[in-house]
Structure 1
Amino acid sequence: MPYVSVQPADVADDRPVILFDLDGTVLDSAPGIVAAQQQALRDVGFEPPDEAELLSDLGPPPAVIFARIGLPEELITPAVEAYRRHYLGRGIRNAALFPGVAELLDLLRPHYRLATATMKLITTAIPFLQHHGVAGRFEVIGGAQDGVVDKPAIIKATRIALGEPPAEKMIMVGDRHSDISGGRAEGLRTIAVSWGYGSRDELLASDPDVIIDRPDELPAAAERLLAEVRG
């Protein structure tokens, strides 16, 4: 599982760790994702679903999404290749940091080790974070590689890159059920954010420790969760 240490990981650093999902949590990347999906489907001769349908299933890798909408198996690989060309070429400019997220990361950095654990390919996650000026806020950028669609595996690999801090001192933050279930599977506390792409019903069903509605609510929520662990 690939990862990138933006700064040399200090395994002796015993500060708590916060892992962030990217799409829907740090980055509002939906417009670029959907546009790239639609163009990729047209490239292989398949009429794409409308924007609302594609928006309802943001998060999984494109191969999974294309299979779900009925794209023939033999067209999935060329469609994925076309999607990546369109997304990296234009999607990077058709995205933005959610309001308040950059300030949140700056507020957290003195007190927490920060990393990402995203289903985004690492080769896409890095240039997106660099383009939007926040790559340096993360000690480790953890992301996916081809063929990996397992959120717990990405979280585990990111934890290893950080020197395997105790799970009880780690929090996973994300906007979809896979972020919450992945964090729980690895023994982490979880914070769901409502400003992303998962519905509130989805977030409630995933049973996070906390749901927050604004980035500025995260520091207090994280402190409460860690205080519960400390007893």
Structure 2
Amino acid sequence: MSRLVLFDMDGTLVDSTPGIWASIRVAAAALGLPEPTPGQLRSMVGPPLQDGFASAFGLVGEDVDRAVGAYRAHYAAGAMFDADVYPGIPGLLAALRADGATLAVATSKPEPFAVRILAHTGLLPAFAGVHGATLDGTVRHKHDVVAAALAAHPDGERPVLVGDRSHDVLGAAAHGLPCIGAGWGPAPPGELAAAGAAAVAATPADVLPALGALPG
């Protein structure tokens, strides 16, 4: 196998739900909002932070900025490290690299945070590059970070994205890339298939055969 495999991070490589949810609760309290509902918390895992606060909590303008600031203060203070590598991910990454694939991360999380989390979990050495959002929010959507990853690895053959939410599928499709859905992540049943995922892998072990079945 000689191809470029891009990975989303939250919900794909690591289960970062505990730290994310704790930081959302802190941000909601800072703005005087009610305790977040389970649905609000689930919807915030994956999409860009600014978009999540706008859609899940109905925030606009400066309130979005205040929420993001409160969230990041708590998250950067240590909550970001409350994340566990999904079982099977280290083996998948090792197998892909052994087969000659180039691996890179394309995440809507701010790039400095993503690098620190990957280093903390021991996954960072597996990747040729980490491409994420900017802290000022000018780059945050999945199609933006996928574009950055493709530009950084111009020799990557038959690029594909592995991600756990619909915005991963759509961000990949914006560049003509297939997306293999990470079915072990937090997406509700059917979300990835409905968004147009080329395949949905139930476990990390299922990613290799899914890659092998892709056209071309």
Length-normalised TM-score, structure 2: 0.92
In the aligned structure 2, how far is the partner of 1:218 from the partner of 1:204?
A: 15
Tell me whether 1:121 sits opposite 2:110 in the alignment: yes
The aligned counterpart of 2:207 is 218
The aligned counterpart of 2:133 is 144
Query: For residue 117 of structure 2, what is the amino acid of its counterpart?
Result: F
Choose the corresponding residue for 1:134, options 123, 126, 129: 123
In the aligned structure 1, how far is the partner of 2:166 from the partner of 2:114?
A: 20
Instruction: After TM superposition, list the pairs within 5 Å mapping 1:37-48 onto structure 2.
Output: 37-48=24-35
- Residue 148 of structure 1 deviates from its aligned partner by 2.1
Q: Please, which moves more after superposition, 116-125 or 145-154?
A: 145-154
SS of the residue 1:92 aligns to? helix
Choose the corresponding residue for 2:86, options 72, 94, 98: 98
Instruction: After TM superposition, list the pairs within 5 Å mapping 1:15-94 onto structure 2.
Output: 15-68=2-55, 69-71=57-59, 73-94=61-82
Q: Percent identity?
A: 34
Query: For residue 171 of structure 2, what is the amino acid of its counterpart?
Result: G
Q: Is 1:34–1:51's contact at 8 Å kept on the other side of the alignment? A: no
In the aligned structure 2, how far is the partner of 1:103 from the partner of 1:174?
A: 17
In the aligned structure 1, how far is the partner of 2:9 from the partner of 2:71?
A: 18
In the aligned structure 2, how far is the partner of 1:109 from the partner of 1:187?
A: 23
Could you report, residue by residue, the CA deviation over 1:89-144 in whole angstroms, capped at 9, with x for unpaired residues?
23223110011101111111122000011101001100000000010100011111
Could you report, residue by residue, the CA deviation over 1:178-199 in whole angstroms, capped at 9, with x for unpaired residues?
1111111111122011111112
Question: What CA RMSD, in Å, does the superposition of the two structures yield over aligned residues?
Answer: 1.6
**Unaligned stretches of 5+ in structure 2?**
none
The aligned counterpart of 1:11 is none
SS of the residue 2:179 aligns to? strand
Length-normalised TM-score, structure 1: 0.86
The aligned counterpart of 1:209 is 198
**Unaligned stretches of 5+ in structure 1?**
1-13
SS of the residue 2:213 aligns to? helix
Tell me whether 1:156 sits opposite 2:157 in the alignment: no
- Residue 164 of structure 1 deviates from its aligned partner by 5.0
Q: How many residue pairs were aligned?
A: 212
Higher normalized contact order (CA 8 Å, seq sep 6+, divided by chain length): 1
Distance 1:183 1:72, change over 3 A: closer
In the aligned structure 1, how far is the partner of 2:50 from the partner of 2:80?
A: 20
Q: Is 2:193–2:199's contact at 8 Å kept on the other side of the alignment? A: no
